[in-house]
Structure 1
Amino acid sequence: MSKNLKVGISIGDINGIGLEVIIKTLSDPDVYKYCTPVVYGHTKVASFHRKAAGIQEFSFQVVSDAEHAHQGKPNMINCWEEDVKIELGESNPTGGKYALLSLQRATEDLVAGKIDALVTAPINKHNIQSDEFKFPGHTEYIQEKAKGGDSLMFLMGEDLKVGVVTGHVQVKDIVKGISKEAIVSKLRLMDQSLRKDFWVEKPKIAVLGLNPHAGDNGLLGTEEQEIISPAIEEAFNEGIFAFGPFPADGFFGKQAYSKFDAVLAMYHDQGLIPFKSLSFNYGVNYTAGLNVVRTSPDHGTGYDIAGKNMASPTSFRTALFMALHIVRQRREQEELQENHLPFSKISKDRD
């Protein structure tokens, strides 16, 4: 297995902090010991951001194709030819247009196997909408392009891993997305990812309730009794060590998550508010359940600090190394299986 993997990077909204955190990450020479980065954008746009952020002595090596990327250097594929007007801190159609051009080319190469993994810088989910992008976010777009089935938005931090049953949906539509089948599907994906991508031999998963106090025995809602508990029982019967449903407030307040390998929340904010409270600036969003590897930082476009040299690259750098880690874990496990070596004797927990 090659030590130096090829990782693609989409630049996100050109008016945000994406290229700033990308350049700061790739300015670290240690990065090139582990991967060959290929950024999808344009060198003129990258130069503008480098100068705006006051970053000195950094330049990309222009290549026409990911297969021609140079090891030991930051590579750039120019995804358009025209000059682009950059308006730092502004949300406008221009930012969405070029974010999509970058993402399209990067995703095509990911699916074609020209890159080993993809790290996506933040997009604006509103200005990127078009006839070619009618998705709530990166996760759903990449899921369709990779022709995968269900996928899991899986947030990774040092002390907490959180997945969600319903992702980017309106609050009024959350209950519509909560079903026994949906919960069991997400539990399967989470269990498989923990085993395959993070080498947790017997993952323990906590499942949160939907209603306050997990329904309080039906007084505050019946979804826990009618949907969530039966889903947990079905998953447990399949060999998935799922427990709950737990009241979300007490669960996080008592730090009960420390007793589990991951947590399945029912909806976006239920899981992401505590996650970002604990892991902001170094958390990673991972799209689990696909045959390709995609990660992203856990922050947004950062319009308010764009071009001010204030953006921290920590989360983006963590996302980059997380992607490399997952690719290697998958490939090493495949090699072990090809040699008929039992997983349990190799590692109890490589996470």
Structure 2
Amino acid sequence: MDNTNKIIVGISVGDINGIGIEIILKTFEDKRMLEFCTPVLFASNRLISYHKKALGFNNNIHGINNIEKIVHGKINLLNAWKEEVKIEIGKITEIGGEFAYKSLSAATKALKSNHIDVLLTAPISKENIQSEEFKFPGHTEYLEENLDGKSLMILMTDELRIGLITGHIPISEVATTITPELIKSKVETMHNSLKSDFNIRKPKIAILGLNPHCGDNGIIGKEDDEIIRPTINEIKESGKLVFGPYAADGFFGSKTYKQFDGILAMYHDQGLAPFKTLSFGNGVNFTAGLSKVRTSPDHGTGFDIAGKNKANPTSFKEALFTSLQIFKNREENKKLTENVLKVK
């Protein structure tokens, strides 16, 4: 492949005291990775050097001070700040959150200005990243605020894609948040993503119920019968292949999920608990519905193992390859739709 045609992957390093930098360095220890893409880390020379020394890594990093100076065939490091930073590996600190945000902010700016093609985010701590600049429950909400589109958090592997109707909200607010309009919006986003991001021509989508046993005909809650089921029937009339509601326990226990291209869970743990039980360490978090491609690994900051050379980079590698494939799929779909024959 011509170097100039390689997909440029911007990488925010996450919490500077977590395992983010370790899984990044481990991913690019294999120089063959540079045949697939051109990585750009948003951090500082001092920070990356500190982690390299602490972990005993010898990755060859190419430092740049201008995003337009990217060199293909190398691991680029854009110096996103110049000041010295106090690094305390394995600890949750205010400084760790502050510079996690600086890395994310710089990478997002480069993504919006088309200097990078996709964004790959290492894990942040939702606790210490909160500030005047970052008042969001997580990456998904921050990126929706900064990019065009309506976001849908999808956790995925090759055979399982779970999206969330409601995301990072308290469980006490879930039932009142779920409306026909919200369900329709999330179905639309997932349907479009399955077509344009994954090249699935006629996606089959399953929707989980809210209450145990989908409410048992109103005995354990009325939302399934009064909101969810009628909305699914209405969506079906538009021609989309949408099915449900399904009781979540039996749906995953019987492996019914294997019959669908995508699944929409009503709330965070309803979808993510079975996903991580089935796929933890191999899954990818993909933010569907936005104008740009963003992925991340399916795990957190790993403070308990940070600096011990124990972090597994598998999920980060999967997130990288997923971002590349989705970017290619979108480019291909863009060309196909641009060249549609117009009927007179």
The structural deviation recorded for 1:197 is: 0.3
Q: Give the corresponding residue for 1:288.
A: 288
Asked if 1:130 corresponds to 2:128, the answer is: no
Q: Partner of 2:165 in structure 1?
A: 165
Q: Is the 8 A contact 2:120 2:323 kept in 1?
A: yes
Whichever residue aligns with residue 309 of structure 1, its letter is N
Give the Cα separation in 1 of the matches to 2:287 and 2:239. 23
Q: How far apart, CA to CA, are the structure 2 residues paired with 1:47 and 1:218? A: 60
Instruction: List aligned pairs for 1:97-246, cutoff 5 A.
Output: 97-148=98-149, 150-246=150-246
Residues 148, 291 of structure 2: 8 Å contact kept: no
Q: 1:258-307 deviations in whole A, cap 9, x for unaligned? A: 01111100000000011111111110111100111100000000000000
User: Structure 2: how far apart are the matches of 1:114 and 1:238?
Assistant: 39
| Aligned residue type for 2:316 | F
The answer for unaligned runs of 5 or more in structure 2 is: none
Distance 2:175 2:113 in 1: 37
Paired residue type of 2:11: I
Deviations 1:166-221 (A, max 9, x none): 10111111112111110110000000000000000101011000000111111101
3-state SS of 2:286 partner: strand
Which AA in structure 2 matches 1:132?
E
Pick which of 59-68 and 87-96 moved more: 59-68
The separation in 1 between residues aligned to 2:29 and 2:97, in whole angstroms, is 26
Equivalent position amino acid for 2:157 in 1: G
In the aligned structure 1, how far is the partner of 2:132 from the partner of 2:332?
40
**Deviation for aligned residue 1:54:** 2.3
Distance 2:229 2:66 in 1: 50
**d(CA) in 2 for partners of 1:336 and 1:306?**
45
C-alpha deviation, 1:21, in angstroms: 0.3
TM-score normalised to the size of structure 2? 0.96
2:137 aligned counterpart, secondary structure: coil
Q: Which residue of structure 2 lines up, in the alignment, with residue 12 of structure 1?
A: 14
Alpha-carbon distance between aligned partners in 1 of 2:321 and 2:66, rounded to the nearest angstrom? 23
Q: What is the TM-score when the length of structure 1 is the normalising length?
A: 0.94
Alpha-carbon distance change, 341 to 125 in structure 1, aligned in 2, over 3 angstroms:
farther
Distance in 1 between the 2:117 and 2:52 partners?
26
Corresponding residue of 2:337? 337
Distance 1:340 1:171 in 2: 45
Give the equivalent residue in structure 1 for 2:62.
61
The secondary structure found in structure 2 opposite 1:340 is coil
Q: Is the Cα contact below 8 Å between 2:214 and 2:224 reproduced in 1?
A: yes
Determine helix, strand or coil for the equivalent of 1:263. strand
Answer yes or no: is the 8 Å Cα contact 1:3–1:34 preserved in 2: no
Residue in 2 that maps onto 1:85: 86
Question: Which residue does 1:349 correspond to in 2?
Answer: none
Deviation for aligned residue 1:59: 2.7
- Inter-partner Cα distance in structure 2 for 1:326 and 1:147: 17
Matches within 5 A, 1:272-351: 272-340=272-340
- The answer to whether the 8 Å contact 1:187/1:240 transfers is no
Q: Does the 8 Å CA contact 1:158/1:279 hold for their aligned counterparts? A: no
Instruction: Determine the structure 1 residue equivalent to 2:97.
Output: 96
SS of the aligned residue for 1:305 comes to coil
Dislocated runs of 4+, deviation >3 Å: none
How many residues matched?
Answer: 340
The reply on whether 1:265 has 2:293 as its aligned counterpart is no
SS at match of 2:83: coil
Residue range with higher mean Cα deviation, 116-125 or 63-72: 63-72
Q: Which residue of 2 aligns with 1:26?
A: 28
Partner SS for 2:199: coil
Please report how far the alpha carbon of residue 341 of structure 1 lies from its aligned counterpart in structure 2 after TM superposition. Answer: 7.2
> For 1:216-238, what per-residue CA distance to the aligned partner results, in whole angstroms no more than 9, with x for missing partners?
11110111111111221122122
- C-alpha distance in structure 1 between counterparts of 2:230 and 2:65, whole Å: 53
What is the rounded CA distance, in whole Å, between the counterparts of 2:341 and 2:199 in structure 1?
Answer: 14
Question: Per-residue deviation at 1:159?
Answer: 2.3
- For residues 242-269 of structure 1, what are the alpha-carbon distances to aligned partners after superposition, in whole Å with 9 as ceiling and x for unaligned? 1000000000000000011111000000
Alignment gaps of 5+ in structure 1: 343-351
Which one-letter code corresponds to 1:295 in the other structure?
A: T
Deviates more, 1:151-160 or 1:96-105: 151-160
Q: Is the 8 A contact 1:123 1:301 kept in 2?
A: yes
CA distance in 1, matches of 2:31, 2:203: 35
Q: What's the offset of the Cα at 1:3?
A: 4.3
Alpha-carbon deviation of 1:158?
Answer: 2.4
User: Aligned-pair distance for 1:331?
Assistant: 0.4
AA aligned to 2:322 is: M
Given the alignment of the two structures, is residue 46 of structure 1 paired with residue 13 of structure 2, yes or no?
no
Residue identity opposite 1:131 in structure 2:
E
**SS state of the match for residue 289, structure 1?**
strand
Give how far 1:130 is off: 0.4
* DSSP-derived class of the 2:162 partner: strand
Moved more, 23-32 or 258-267: 23-32
Report how far residue 336 of structure 1 moved: 1.9
Take 1:131 and 1:321, find their aligned partners in 2: how far apart are those partners? 34
